[in-house]
Amino acid sequence: MKIAKKPILLFLLLLLLILGKFFFQEKSSYLPDFPSQQITQAYAGRKSNVQVESRGIVVKLLRDDLKGAKHQKFLVKVTNDLTILIAHNIDLAPRINSLKEGEEISFYGEYEWTSKGGTVHWTHHDPGRRHPDGWIKHKNKVYQ
Q: Pick the residue with more confidence: 6 or 124?
A: 124
Question: Residue 6 domain-assigned?
Answer: no
Domain that holds residue 34: 27-143
Global pTM reads 0.76
The total domain count for the chain is 1
Distance, CA of 28 to CA of 13 (rounded, Å):
27
Q: Which of 35, 31, 44, 50 is nearest to 119 (CA)?
A: 50
Q: Pick the residue with more confidence: 22 or 96?
A: 96
pLDDT tens digits, 75-121: 999 998 899 999 999 999 999 999 999 999 999 999 999 999 999 99
Q: Pick the residue with more confidence: 16 or 126?
A: 126
Mean pLDDT calculated for residue range 17-42: 64
Question: Residue 124 domain-assigned?
Answer: yes
Distance, CA of 120 to CA of 101 (rounded, Å):
18
Contact call for residues 133 and 125 (beta carbons, < 8 A)? yes
Question: Residue 3 domain-assigned?
Answer: no
Question: Residue 10 domain-assigned?
Answer: no
The residue ranges of DSSP E strands in the chain, in sequence order, are: 50-61, 71-79, 82-89, 104-112, 119-121, 135-138, 141-143
Say whether pLDDT at 6 is over 80.
Answer: no
Distance, CA of 124 to CA of 120 (rounded, Å):
11
